[in-house]
């Protein structure tokens, strides 16, 4: 009796483990869409034609520093070390930072400081009047608000279709629209995993499309 039992365990256990992980891939293979499309009427600005065109084709991590670049730059350094440096070499990854026009000097200083520790080629600083930053931020439909200076300590993930991604059943917050750059633990334990999931989602879709064409 012992021999068949041992053989059964040896053959069945790997199958059970495989099915467990296979079901996990199907269940957790997509990062939830929290806002279908970030729609923004940028007709007042000659900087951007539309948010969809701006984000299209990229996995974007989006930061709002408004007119508080100096005050918030420490948070961006947390993000840089824990997220940006991990993913910037992916060609479809970018970090977009919205700031007001009066912050040009502070942005130049910030880029110089970042350049001493990382390749900044995937950073994109966009200068907009604060009203336009507020307009854009409102389309994210998050549970957070910008400060009066159009700044936020949160970073957001926007996919290639200009949809906001995040967590719909986060163990701490329920709906997790953005990731707190003040918390190294949140960047490490949540955002890094979620960016990985989104990157894998697009790469799996690309492989499937390639296989279907063949």
Residue 67 buriedness (CB in 10 A; 0-12 / 13-18 / 19+): buried
pLDDT at 102: 97
pLDDT of residue 15: 46
The residue written with tokens 């970042």 in the block is 114
The pair of structure tokens assigned to 36 is 């279908």
Q: What are phi and psi of 172, to 5 degrees?
A: -105, -40
Whole-angstrom distance, CA of residue 137 vs CA of residue 129: 13
Task: Give residue 186's pLDDT.
Answer: 97
- Cα-to-chain-centroid distance, residue 58: 10
> Coil, helix or strand for 127?
strand
Length of the chain: 214
Instruction: Tell which residue, 3, 19, 47, 24, has the closest CA to residue 197.
Output: 24
What pLDDT does 44 receive? 44
Q: 33-213, what's its fold?
A: Glutaredoxin (3.40.30)
Residue 186: its H or E element: helix 184-186
- Reading the block at residue 26, the tokens are 């199907």
Q: What is the pLDDT of residue 189?
A: 95
Nearest partner of 83 among 56, 57, 63, judged by Cα = 63
31 to 78, 163, 197: CA distances (angstroms): 23, 11, 6
**Which of 96, 105, 41, 95 minimizes the C-alpha distance to 67?**
105
Q: What is the pLDDT along the chain (214 residues), one digit of tens a residue?
A: 555 555 555 555 554 444 444 444 334 468 999 998 776 544 444 444 345 567 888 999 999 999 999 999 999 999 999 999 999 999 999 999 999 999 999 999 999 999 999 999 999 999 999 999 998 999 999 999 999 999 999 999 999 989 999 999 999 999 999 999 999 999 999 999 999 999 999 888 666 554 445 5
Query: Nearest 5°: phi and psi at 154?
Result: -100, 150
For 82-108, what is the HEC assignment?
A: HHHHHHCCCCCEEEEEEECHHHHHHHH
- Alpha-carbon distance 76 to 128, whole Å? 19
């Amino acid at each position: 009796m012992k021999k068949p039992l041992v053989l059964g365990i040896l053959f069945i256990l790997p199958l059970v483990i495989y099915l467990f992980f296979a079901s996990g891939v199907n269940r957790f293979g997509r990062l939830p869409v929290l806002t279908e499309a970030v729609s923004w009427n940028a007709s007042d600005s000659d900087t951007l034609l539309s948010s969809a065109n701006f984000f299209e084709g990229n996995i974007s991590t989006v930061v709002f520093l408004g007119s508080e670049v100096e005050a918030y730059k420490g948070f961006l350094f947390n993000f840089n070390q824990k997220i940006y440096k991990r993913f910037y070499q992916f060609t479809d990854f970018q970090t977009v930072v919205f700031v007001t026009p009066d912050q040009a000097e502070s942005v130049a200083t910030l880029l110089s400081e970042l350049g001493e520790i990382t390749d900044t080629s995937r950073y994109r600083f966009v200068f907009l009047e604060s009203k336009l930053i507020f307009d854009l931020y409102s389309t994210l439909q998050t549970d957070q608000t910008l400060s009066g200076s159009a700044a936020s300590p949160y970073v957001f993930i926007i996919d290639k279709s200009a949809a906001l991604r995040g967590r719909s059943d986060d163990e701490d917050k329920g709906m997790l629209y953005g990731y707190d750059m003040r918390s190294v633990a949140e960047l490490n334990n949540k955002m890094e995993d979620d960016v990985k999931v989104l990157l894998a989602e697009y790469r799996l879709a690309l492989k499937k499309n390639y296989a279907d064409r063949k």
